[in-house]
Amino acid sequence: MERLNKFIASCGVCSRRKADELIQDGRIKVNGEVVKDLGVKVSLEDKIELDGKTISKEEKKVYLMLNKPVGYVTTASDEKGRKNVLDLILEDVRVYPIGRLDMYTEGLLLLTNDGDFANKLMHPKFEIDKRYVVTTDTKVTRQMLEALRNGVDIGDYVTREAKVEKLDEENISITIHEGKNRQVRRMCDAVGIKVLKLKRTNYGPLSLGELPVAKYRHLTDFELYNLNK
């Protein structure tokens, strides 16, 4: 027996926290009955449904890389009716994003229905490097780059050391391993760099490569092996 929210999360539907919301919103049925009690425990014999569709742990696992376009949100449900990255995914299983990119940021986003895998990658202890390219019209000085490298105060947090490189007059690359809300934008803001465009190009060992904007592909076995290492 396990808690209903844990069961839902391990089916790859969403995080445990989100599962609590689904339960409270009355979207989950256990053996045909809507269950709103967060304390309920279930087993593999129980029939669990989300919005009328059975969810189970037996589903084929899929691992996708999307080149997220600007203007799409990555949250599972959006009360403002904005475009959602899930609208771009045409698979016969439900997947959800591993971590987040803000609405105005584009680039590499992983999605999966493997809840255990997603929760592992998102755990802060793994400190996965994420590389972003910032396009700016600010004249970036050496002092600015140094400050970004050493860590800057973004209000509620001082960022850890980052790898920072000036690529050319308009682009800098910033690699961080934390994932505070809008961290790169807030870091740039803190040192006076105006962000015209923000794109994630790498996630751990994975690289976006030539994947066109709004397109996705399945990860290769080699990429999965590298991510699991």
Strands (E) in the chain, as ranges, are 2-3, 28-30, 33-34, 41-42, 48-50, 53-55, 63-68, 96-97, 106-112, 130-135, 163-166, 171-176, 197-203, 206-207, 216-218
- Can you tell me the distance from the alpha carbon of 123 to that of 170, in angstroms, rounded to the nearest whole number? 33
Which CB atom, from 177 or from 182, has the smaller least distance to ligand URA? 182
Given the rule CB under 6 A, which of 9-17, 52-60, 139-147, 180-188 is the region that contacts ligand URA? 180-188
The active-site residue, picked from 37, 78, 87, 102, is 102
Which class for 142: exposed (0-12), middle (13-18), buried (19 or more C-beta within 10 A)?
Answer: exposed
175 close to 99: Cβ distance less than 8 angstroms: no
Pick out residues in 195-214 that bind ligand URA (CB under 6 A): 198
Q: Number of residues interacting with ligand URA: please give it, by CB under 6 A.
A: 8
To the query of whether residue 25 is one of the catalytic residues in this protein, the response is no
Q: Site map for ligand URA, 94-133, x if CB under 6 A?
A: -------xx--x----------------------------
Q: Does 85 bind ligand URA (CB under 6 A)?
A: no
Least distance in angstroms from the C-beta of 181 to ligand URA: 8
List contacts with ligand URA (CB under 6 A): 101-102, 105, 182-185, 198
Active site residues: 102
